[in-house]
Amino acid sequence: MITSLQAQPLIQIDDIHVAYGAPPKTVLYGIDLEIQEGEFVCVLGQTGCGKSTLLRLVLGSERPCQGHILIEGREHLRPDRSRGYVPQKYSLFPDKTVLDNITFGAEVGEFSLFGCFTPRYFRFRREYRAQAMDYLRRIGLRESDASKYPDQLSGGMQQRVAIAQALLTRPRILLMDEAFSALDPGTRKEMQRLIRELWRDTGTTILFVTHNTQEALCLGTRVIVLAKESPDSGSRVALDLRIPQPCHEEEIPRLMRKLERVSSNFPEADPQADEIHAVR
């Protein structure tokens, strides 16, 4: 089983090249990645290095100039149900209550635009709501929050709901774009614990974009660092690091230094620099 999965990765990124604008400015080039089912991949890089672009390519909302992205061996040219999405902002529909937000995926899946007027729809809604309520409790919301609108919730709560909304349609891949970057440190820690838990329980493959090294290290089973070789060139994979599981606390400072050096000094990073950093 494992060997067959190894043969066909869940996400295969094949020699991607992306450029924007006129004259074209390269953002990403020569990206080759294979992501297996069940991995928790953190994409790390400085602002503007193209990590969100990479995520949007996997999402299908953008297309590469060259290369392919295969998901389960197939090219997906637009976002669909197989990949859930949790952005940093605007992750919830402001006009729907928390409960309606969570059940939206199931509703559009089952009922077309005109289907929402049939009695079957209301029956379905009632039944599904009970299930959604259970889920809400699991991610740490109270029953009274269900009828609130998103802007009545704190940022952390909003992201909890957004994660629940994305996971309730059971996608195989969850794409998170700086999902916790706007949260305060305490809430962020809680959310990191929650997403690790959900990842372990559901076995969803997660692609998590962040600029925070510590976050990448404590979440991921694998950290991919994107960096530019020179200010004018596009970004490449500077480092593809598998994090030993479980990651020991004392390992983190050393790994952090290593990652930050790679990210800021690519491609001159040399192994000797590790000690220099440590002395400082």
Partner 1 sequence: MSSGVFAIHAKPGRTTALALSWFLFAAGVGLYFYASALRHRDNPEDRVTPTLTQMARGMYDAVLHPAEDDEPLAEGASWMETVRHSMLWKDTKATGIRFFASLALLLPAVLVGLHMGLFPYMGAFLLRFILFFDKIIALSLLPILFIAFGIDELSKIMLIVIGVTPTIILDTFNISRAVPGEQVVKAFTLGASDFDVAYRVVLKQISPRVLNSIRLNLKAIMLFLFAGEMIASTDGLAYRIALLRRHMGMDVIIPYVLWVALLLFLVDFGMRWMNRKLHPWFHEA
Binding residues for partner 1 (CB under 8 A): 59, 61, 78-81, 83-85, 87, 89-91, 93-96, 104-105, 108-109, 112-113, 149-151, 165-166, 169, 171
| Angle, CA 186 vertex, CA 181 and CA 189 arms, to 5° | 70
CA atoms of 96 and 141, how far apart (whole Å) = 16
CA-nearest of 86, 156, 100, 166 to 133 is 100
Nearest distance, CB of residue 35 and partner 1, angstroms: 17
Nearest distance, CB of residue 13 and partner 1, angstroms: 19
Nearest distance, CB of residue 277 and partner 1, angstroms: 37
Nearer to partner 1, 90 or 203 (CB): 90
Nearer to partner 1, 101 or 235 (CB): 101
Nearer to partner 1, 104 or 128 (CB): 104
Nearest distance, CB of residue 182 and partner 1, angstroms: 13
Nearer to partner 1, 85 or 180 (CB): 85
Nearer to partner 1, 102 or 227 (CB): 102
CA atoms of 102 and 164, how far apart (whole Å) = 7
| Angle, CA 9 vertex, CA 4 and CA 14 arms, to 5° | 140
Nearest distance, CB of residue 83 and partner 1, angstroms: 6
CA atoms of 5 and 187, how far apart (whole Å) = 36
Nearer to partner 1, 97 or 212 (CB): 97
Q: How far is CA 27 from CA 34, 76, 175, 267, in A?
A: 20, 21, 20, 16
**Which residues, 6+ apart, have CB-to-CB distance to 70 below 8 Å?**
11, 12, 14
Strand ranges for the chain from DSSP E: 11-20, 25-35, 40-44, 66-71, 74-75, 83-86, 173-177, 205-210, 222-228, 235-242
Contact assessment for residue 148 and residue 98, using Cβ atoms and an 8 Å cutoff: yes
Nearest distance, CB of residue 84 and partner 1, angstroms: 6
Nearer to partner 1, 56 or 222 (CB): 56
DSSP 190: H
Nearest distance, CB of residue 92 and partner 1, angstroms: 8
Nearer to partner 1, 9 or 84 (CB): 84
Placement of tokens 């020179």 in the chain: 230
CA atoms of 187 and 78, how far apart (whole Å) = 33
Nearest distance, CB of residue 88 and partner 1, angstroms: 9
